[in-house]
Structure 1
Amino acid sequence: MKDINIDQFKVTQPIKISEVNTSISLDADKKEKKKALKKTRKKLAKWQDKLYAHGKYSVLVCLQGMDTSGKDSLIREVFQGFNSRGVVVHSFKTPSKRELRHNYLWRHYVALPERGKFGVFNRTQYENVLVTRVHPEYILGENIPHINSLEDIDEDFWETRMNEIRDFEEGMVDNGTIVFKFFLHISKEEQKYRLLRRLQRPEKNWKFSPSDLEERKLWEEYQNCYEKAINNTSTEKAPWYIIPSDDKKAARYLVAKILREKLLEYEDVQEPSVSPEVEKNIDEYIAALKEE
């Protein structure tokens, strides 16, 4: 398999999303990619055990992408080796009535992972500058003071929202949350193929909704909103990674590889030392148990 430099996927300067590749060659067949993922996720799961014992950091993995980009299957494949107590997945759908009675970031804040754990956001706080930007009428349901009509939702509104999201993420990081943001980047042609597969395979029919086709008509608007969001919110503390995702197996491996390599940079994450009392008397404790 080709050696991959993970920094090539990190957004460090403004990007033109139409110029970013949706596919990548790893010089590997399906079996090799599956094997590479298995090896990497096993190491990642071991690191999570250490994170849990250390208890000072948490990890937040944010996944965004167009419909059919592979978020659900990526979560299943990348995190399947984790201890179930060590990872919590949240899928953010249309806000509930209760959620709409709070600031738009509230439901994301209360879902943040506790120290020692991974949190995965399947769709994220960025829905608030993506879906709502394509469909600004949704903003009216938030009952925000001074927002009484669509005319009140101008460019300054979206810029303020992105500033708030940046502040939200900076606060997370400053308090011990390691933030990863992945945009699973697929082509319009690949989405068409995946939607057709959902329709042509009976066991996949449940995944399809007529609204998928309506949203597909807005492809260019969504791409434009993603571009603006990524360019305005990729920071050193909470960078975006754009993952070529036309090949699901390659995308899963790349996400796992980035997580693994970047988390190893946190060299202070170690298992706690054994207390002097336990270390001194460990043989005695073993003997006592064996004599029961």
Structure 2
Amino acid sequence: MPQIDSVLISTRQGIRTMRFIWGSARMSLLILVSIFTCSASVMYLVYRNFPELSDDEMEKIKIPKDMDDAKALGTVLSKYKDTYYTQVLVAYFATYVFLQTFAIPGSIFLSILSGYLYPFPLALFLVCLCSGLGASFCYMLSYLVGRPVVYRYLTERAQKWSQQVDKHRNHLINYIIFLRITPFLPNWFINITSPVINVPLGVFFIGTFLGVAPPSFVAINAGTTLYKLTTAGEAVSWNSLAVLGVLAVLSILPVCFQKKLQQKLE
């Protein structure tokens, strides 16, 4: 009888825990939808201040899903960029941050497009800043409402990455830079799980800002010949992959040297 009672108590506690997690996840999703709605309203206001466009041009003002969409969007933005420089820049900035914040696909095409619209130094800074801010906003959203969602849907992957982060806790910036350069973990996964496993926001922002620079360099450089591209994959050549590989190794070398130095000192 005592064994049966203990089993019943454990079962009830498990049911209560599951109900709590489910309730928290549902509430978190409701809050997330509310924040997304408010952000979408801000985006609407940004585009309301855009110059008046023809019907044909309005059809091209959308988040690019492929290279043809990016070319069409580039045609419209380049037409108005000089006359309405601030409006175009703000719209580009807000759209990029919005996509990064809510992990919506399409930012790679905006990175390529920046190389077509702006001088290279400005384009690189703009993409790195948008990526850093958007990823940080995604981080804060996850910190605010994402924990129940991560615990419910990404438990195993989050636990594995938490173990990796613990191993690199003393050099997190290098580790995040390495992850941003390499494709080992999706960017959206890094963004939403980082606050759950206690990656500091400052370290996260700096690592992201610096880490996205090398792949952004490739995308922006490809944007200078935008109308010669037919797919996003053409923006990446074997030479650029080799450069990214070298930079990824260089980002992690200080960590390796530090570990060897510590071993010698011990």
Structure holding more strand per residue: 1
Structure scoring higher RCO (CA < 8 A, sep ≥ 6) equals 1
Task: Indicate whether the TM-score tops 0.5.
Answer: no
What band does the TM-score fall into relative to the shorter chain? under 0.3
TM-score when normalising by structure 1: 0.24
Structure holding more helix per residue: 2
TM-score when normalising by structure 2: 0.26
